Structure 1
C-alpha cells in the first residue's frame, strides 16, 4: 500500500484557484514542484504510488501523484523538492483540521477519488453543506 503526504494548500481556497495558478506557472515552462523544509524519511514508500493530498479551508479536496522526492542544498540550507504529476484528482471532501508543515497519510485514511458522476457539477461549497446536513 502506498504512503501519502497531506499538506495545507496555502494561498488557494479552491481547486480551481490552484489550477489557475498552475496554468500561469506552466506557461513559463516551470515543472510542478512542491518545496518544503523537511524531506520525508519514508520517501521511497511515498514515491512508490503515493500522492500529495491538499487541504483547502479545512477540507481535503484534491490529490496529485508524487513522482520524485529530492533533497537540494546542504546543512541548514537543505530543502525538499517533490515533483508532482500535472493531473489534479478531486477527492471526496473530507474535513481536516489545520496543522503545520506536512504529515504522512496512510492509504486506509485517504479520502476516495471522486468521479464526475458522484458529484455532477455541484459547487464544492454546496457539496460540503449537503454532507454536513447528512443529505449526501
Structure 2
C-alpha cells in the first residue's frame, strides 16, 4: 500500500476542500483529477491521498480507484476518493505540482475527533517557532 500527497489549490482549510468536492462530485462522492496516471497505481488502491493546505499535510481521503477519463481539458487521471476529508495530525510539507508518493511509515496519523486537535494554523505557528 502506498499513499499520495497533493496540494489543495485555492483551499484555505479542510472545510473549503470538502465543500468544493461536494459541489464538483455531489454528496457521497469525491474525486480529484491529475494530469498523469501514477505508474504505481495498483499500489495506491487502499492507500490515502493526503492533502496539503498552507504547506501542511492536514487531511486524507482513502483512494478507491484510478481511471483515465476525457475532460474538456483533455484526458486526465481521475482519482476516486472516499467522501469527506479526515483530519490528520498536521505536519509541515513543501508544496509541489501534481502529486508525490508517500510511504506508509511517513504518513501522519489521523487527528483527534474530540475537539482537542490542534488547528492547522496553530500547528504552523508552533512549527515556525521551532516548538513542533
Q: What TM-score bracket applies, with the shorter chain setting the length?
A: 0.7 to 0.9
* Total equivalences in the alignment: 129
1:127 is the counterpart of 2:117: no
Instruction: Work out whether residues 25 and 31 of structure 2, in 8 Å CA contact, stay in contact via their aligned partners in 1.
Output: no
Determine if the alignment matches structure 1 residue 88 to structure 2 residue 85.
Answer: yes
Where in structure 2 are the equivalents of 1:1-136 lying within 5 Å?
2-25=1-24, 31-47=29-45, 49-73=46-70, 77-117=74-114, 120=116, 122-133=118-129
Length-normalised TM-score, structure 2:
0.83
Superposition TM-score, scaled by structure 1 size: 0.81
Q: Secondary structure at the match of 2:83?
A: coil
How far apart in 2 are the matches of 1:121 and 1:4?
23
Change (3 A) 1:53 1:67: same
Name stretches of at least 5 consecutive residues in structure 2 with no aligned partner: none
Could you list the runs of 5+ residues in structure 1 that have no partner in the other structure? none
Structure index of larger Rg: 1
- Structure 1 stretches of at least 4 aligned residues deviating more than 6 Å after TM superposition: none
RMSD of aligned C-alpha atoms? 2.2
